[in-house]
Copies of this chain bind each other. A is one copy, B any other.
Amino acid sequence: MRMAEGVEWAMHSCVNLSWLDGHGPVPAARLAGLYDLPAPYLNKQLQALVRAGVLTSVSGPRGGFRLARAPEEISLLDVVVAVEGPEEAFRCTQILRNGPGGDASVDYRQHCAVSQSMRRAELAWRQELAGRTIADVGHDVVSHTPAAAERVRAALAP
């Protein structure tokens, strides 16, 4: 069970956009150039972030992407769900329905003890990600590497 590497790209792109203080928009090619990423594939992730309401895109020759809201209001869970989709990681196909005493009218995704245990773990994971924002990560980076934000701003400038 592994996430797409697009999650890493999307996270860093959001953190970098958070440092622009509303400047921008920044084209996908420039965001990709920052880390030598393939621009078309990063663009796909950025479009997913737009669909999820994390970014807005501006079309035209001076177009590109910017955060759709304050980085304090974008959680890491928002970014993960935008790229990976909303499904839970554990896949319950309700095999108990076919088992001894199984009942086709029961929704085992809700009632099976295995499903419930897996969901509890998933909730712990989601709560952790929901409790941390793009702004938190940006502050962490700058507290360890004070020049980081300025370097990114310079690299992303038109």
Contact = CB atoms under 8 A, between A and B. Distances in A.
Copies assembled? 2
Interface string A111-138: 1011011101110111111001000110
Of A36, A93, A100, the most chain B CB neighbours within 10 A belong to A100
Given A100-B151, A132-B117, A137-B114, A91 B2 contact: yes
A78 B8 CA distance: 27
A3 interface: yes
Interface of A: 1-5, 7-9, 11-12, 15, 34-37, 76, 84, 87, 89-93, 95-96, 98-101, 111, 113-114, 116-118, 120-122, 124-129, 132, 136-137, 140-141, 144-145, 147-148, 151-152, 154-155
